[in-house]
Chain A
Amino acid sequence: MKKNLFINISVYLVLILFTLIALYPILNVFTISIRPDDKLLSTDLSIIPDKATFRQYVELFTNRPFLLWTWNSLIVSATVTFTGVVLASTAGYALSRYKFVGKQASMLGLLTTQMFPATMLLLPMYIMLIKLELLNSYLGIIIIYSATALPFCVWQMKGYYDTIPHSLEESARIDGCTKWQSFYKIILPLASPALVITALFSFMTAWSEYIVAAQVLQDTSLYTLPLGLKSFESNMSTEWGLYAAASLIVSIPVVILFVILSKWLVSGLTLGSVKG
């Protein structure tokens, strides 16, 4: 018994240590955001600085188009999430359940998309958007984000479907379901943990992306949050307080999603191999 207690205490100690390490940099951002004098650096180590103030947050919501950026980001991310879930759940299912010509190539293709340095694709992507007249529009950016998020999502959906026994559809088919019904009514609900993860990934891709957005969206009224955030940073004089405050607020939705979904995260993120 004594030995167990000792082990448990040390487990807690280690967990606390790592949690502190995980939290400290984030707390640091918080500290910068409530510093009264808009400074990135300070020798003060305390989490809550002297004369802490929330004026940066007030400034953010009153004098800056922060709500507009948030709304824009929400539209983009929500659409990308929806597209991602629909496309990945169907494609993943096809790859998991059917043998067809080009299947191997597609699986390999999914993996290889991750291998090419993404920044190098910007130039041709940009030229393509100009030709399709999709510059400065959400459609352009939504297509790009969906495509960026898809390979991982398809891969991981496929992995999850693999863990669901084939016999389920077989019996459904015997009971008179069509192929589509057996997928839609039987398998899809069972795959909900993986769907949740796919949604989370698609959302994250769109929510915090900056480089593509900076190239595609030129109009300030279309700005998404990361672009707005970047606008606090100018060549030599960054508004660090605002930047930090906005960073935290940008992170909050993602953090909340992670917290809510953390249970599914463990069961849904299989990356394809635990069989039955």
Chain B
Amino acid sequence: MVNKFTADILKLLVLIISSVIKGSSNGMKKLFILFLSTLIFVISFSSCSPQKDENELVIWHTMRPEETKVLQSQLVRFMKLNPGIKVHQLFKETEEMRSGFIVAAIGGQGPDLVYGPSDQIGPFEEMKIIKPLEEIFDEEFLSNFNEKGLIYRNGHLWQIADKLGNHLTLVYNKDLVPIPPKTDIELIEIGKKLSIDKNGDGRIDQYGLVWNYTEPYFFIPFLTGYGGWIFDSLAVPTLNSEAMVKGLKFIQSLRDKHKIIPNEADYNVADVLFKEGRAGMIINGDWSWASYGNAGINYGIAPLPIITETGLHCSPMISPKGFSININLDSSKTEKAKLLIEYLMKPENQLEASKAAKTFPTRKELYDDPFIQDDPILTNSRLQIELGTPLPIVTEMRAIWDAMRPSYQAVLGGSITPEKAAAQMQKSAIKKIEELREDFQDPVSGLIIQIMFLLAAAITLFLMRKSIVAFFVNIKKDGFAYLLAMPAVLVMVAVIFYPFFYNIVLSFSNMNLSHINDWTIVGFYQYVKVFQEPQFYEIFLKTILWTSANIFFHVTIGVFLALLLNKNLPGTPLFRTLLILPWAVPQYIVALTWRGMFNYEYGSINLILVKFLSMSPVEWLKSPFEAFVAVIITNVWLGFPFMMIIALGALQSIPAELYEAADIDGAKWYHKLKNITIPLIKPVMIPAITLGVIWTFNNLNVVWLVSNAGEPSDSTHILVSYVYKAAFNMYRYGYAAAFSVILFLILLAFGLTFLRKTKATESVY
């Protein structure tokens, strides 16, 4: 079933192509027919895909594997009961689901149902991309739920949860910790007994307590334990508090004074330490428990301890997880979505999930169920939920996390004091909330910009008048060239240039959280914002450093290896092939591997440094400088083969007689390098270097994956990763567009001057 639009496009294509074929030779005809048949092949393939139809529901969710299994089996049963309806479920990672759903729903598409933690409701509601549910479900149905599972905001119901929790608790290894600690003092006592150097190499290899202490989400229990909170009742941040300072100092003391937690621990390190039985306790969420059982750990759950000084429980955030309905659904589909939600929310179905994944249900009648009452894990989990604090459902949460993360990581990295960190967090949170809420309208300069656009277009046309005339005069003569170039140009215009100009327009607009569909042109506002950002200059310098370091090593290592390979000793083809491999393996795979290799505790780089070179281990990913070096090392590794191959190609085209002549003249190797090799490979290397600079400057993947989105403290960002974060974390689309245009202009200026200076332009044009 080819849809109508593709059919029309096809007809048009056939028309154009047949008219072209009439006027061309046989060979060309063959080629075009081949091309056309491939296209048709592909289109027919793509149309095999199930098109969106009335009876199909799509769910995007963030469930973990064991929950997904339950969901899938429930969906199969649902489809048997309702033969007219088909349901597909699709897992998305939290951030990806959020940004993906926003973009799709704004475009009038997207999944019919989204399932995830309640904090995504904030932006979804503000962008008006989900439906109010109280109009769809009747009161009787809703009255069955624990009220914590019904997410209201501004008077409407936006999400119905089937699970409560997502909360952190203390998980302990019963073999190491027979009785879990009730207070912070007990925690430290038990921890001290467990943190020992077992094999006597001077490094602690069993810890009392571990957790992912790079993420502020895991810090919240300590903040609440000292009586603090992130917001006041008006959603104004309250991060610069005594509780914050005390909480930070407490964690510092656990690590530096009592030495019961490791020096560096992100989620994976903490997880592995506990799974290997090398940590007595871990602070982790309900999502992780099942995996500890599977790893053979005899584990138990206990509420987080009480802070003696305040007498308060460390209170983690709790957030319900549940379903929302896409705003774009028509009434008949909404009916089907309602049917599905009602089915999935049935008590027996919720119970099934609880049994499989140890999650806590929202149906009130289940709370008396013997399973929920008696299961030791669930009872303790429930205890912790009662001691938890609900995650605020406001869009500002994102600003809070983004504000807390860098300063929090800086305290743990030892570069600032807790007092300073608290002040910084508060300042940054207020600034970020302002940016999130910024509402700028300026119809006057908007109009001016639009007139400027028109003027610019007119002037360009005027300046190009000669070329345009020449185009029509010469079209007959140059027809063949145009014919050859046209298909490529058309594709690139559609896919690259159209979005590019769209972005330029956006860069003059106020598109952001509050103006996602109704943005207007406001002038140079976003550009001014970019240049006012003090971080811009710092990151710009860092980007230059990043680019030049990378290119320097790419080129020197590449050329050096090419020179060695060019000696054509026996076996060189083998080496050449092996040395290309870093280029051949997909970037996102090796980037993650390198991140693992830089790990303090487990990374092979440190292990090699210690075991074979007897050096002390380096905290690669914890301090800004080392982390930046780590990212550069990864990218150097990825990029040298390209330069090596280019250089090798250039070297092989140098006539051997030149060297022979030099030998006769008695030239030393460095003379030959300076006077023959370098000048002759330069014309090949210059375009390669230009491309290399452009690619490196804009290389998001490596920075993002190796440094885990800019860690520590957002200090490993280059411009492109910074703008990516601004666009997708803070919904500042206009700002991000302006930022990208500036990036583009920087590269354009560089490209033009570099090519002109090196006089390589003749080869480019």
Contact = CB atoms under 8 A, between A and B. Distances in A.
A115 interface: yes
Interface string A192-213: 0000000000000001101000
A43 B287 contact: no
Interface string B531-574: 00000000000000000000000000100010011010101110
B311 interface: no
Contacts of B285: 236
Interface in A217-262: 218-222, 226, 229-231, 233-237, 239, 247, 250-251, 254-255, 257-259, 262
Given A15-B564, A148-B495, A208 B587 contact: yes
B82 interface: no
B717 to A, nearest CB: 13
B590 interface: yes
13 contacts: A11-B564, A45-B607, A98-B480, A114-B695, A115-B698, A120-B723, A146-B495, A184-B28, A220-B88, A235-B62, A250-B586, A271-B691, A273-B686
Contact of B743 (A26, A117, A147): A117
B482 A251 contact: no
A91 interface: yes
Interface in B495-546: 495-500, 502-503, 506
Contacts of A234: 64-65, 91, 93
A133 to B, nearest CB: 5
Interface string B691-705: 100110010100000
A70 interface: no
A251 B580 CA distance: 13
B372 to A, nearest CB: 24
B495 A144 contact: yes
Contacts of A116: 496, 500, 503, 698, 740, 743-744
A41 B269 contact: yes
Given A95-B485, A114-B694, A258 B577 contact: yes
Interface residues of A, number: 135
A124 interface: yes
A75 B43 CA distance: 12
Contacts of A87: 487-488, 491
Given A119-B724, A218-B90, A26 B5 contact: no
A140 B3 CA distance: 14
A1 interface: no
A269 B106 CA distance: 43
Interface stretch (B45-53, B180-188, B386-394): B45-53
Contacts of B506: 124
B646 A86 contact: no
A118 interface: yes
B103 A139 contact: no
B581 interface: yes
A171 interface: no
A218 B111 CA distance: 9
Contacts of B446: none
Nearest to B68: A234
A58 interface: no
Interface of A: 8, 11-12, 14-15, 18-19, 21-26, 28-29, 32, 37, 39-43, 45, 75, 79, 82-83, 86-88, 90-91, 93-95, 97-98, 100-104, 106-109, 111-128, 130, 132-140, 142-144, 146-148, 150-152, 154-155, 159, 162, 178-181, 183-185, 207-208, 210, 214-215, 218-222, 226, 229-231, 233-237, 239, 247, 250-251, 254-255, 257-259, 262-263, 265-275
Contact of B487 (A91, A254, A275): A91
A178 to B, nearest CB: 5
A139 B43 contact: yes
B100 A120 contact: no
Contacts of B611: 45
Interface stretch (B235-243, B376-384, B592-600): B592-600
Contact of B569 (A12, A21, A24, A104): A12
Interface stretch (B403-411, B470-478, B620-628): B470-478
B275 interface: yes
Contacts of A214: 96, 100
A223 B502 CA distance: 29
Nearest to A135: B109
A103 B295 CA distance: 63
A90 B565 CA distance: 34
B49 A235 contact: no
A120 B727 contact: yes
A221 B49 contact: yes
B81 interface: no
Nearest to A239: B65
Given A101-B478, A180-B27, A113 B607 contact: no
A130 B499 CA distance: 13
A198 B577 CA distance: 19
A228 to B, nearest CB: 12
Contacts of A95: 485
A95 B688 CA distance: 19
B652 interface: yes
B684 to A, nearest CB: 6
Given A139-B6, A236-B64, A247-B586, A83 B597 contact: no
A255 B581 contact: yes
Interface stretch (B124-132, B249-257, B428-436, B757-765): B757-765
Contacts of A37: 295
A116 B506 CA distance: 14
B84 interface: no
Contacts of B652: 266-267
B485 A94 contact: yes
A137 B463 CA distance: 42
A208 B492 contact: no
Nearest to A76: B42
A117 B700 contact: yes
Contact of A133 (B6, B96, B100, B577): B6
* CB-based closest 4 A-B pairs: A147-B495, A273-B763, A208-B586, A98-B481
A90 B28 CA distance: 11
Nearest to B295: A37
A235 B64 contact: yes
B24 interface: yes
Given A45-B611, A130-B108, A184 B64 contact: no
Nearest to A217: B49
Contact of A120 (B503, B571, B589, B590): B503
A259 B576 CA distance: 9
A266 B587 CA distance: 22
B487 A107 contact: no
Given A112-B748, A150-B492, A151-B492, A126 B582 contact: no
A263 B35 CA distance: 28
B494 A147 contact: yes
A138 B586 contact: no
A53 B53 CA distance: 44
A254 B584 contact: yes
Contacts of B24: 180
Contact of B585 (A142, A230, A251): A251
B308 interface: no
B287 A126 contact: no
Given A22-B582, A100-B482, A234-B93, A29 B575 contact: no
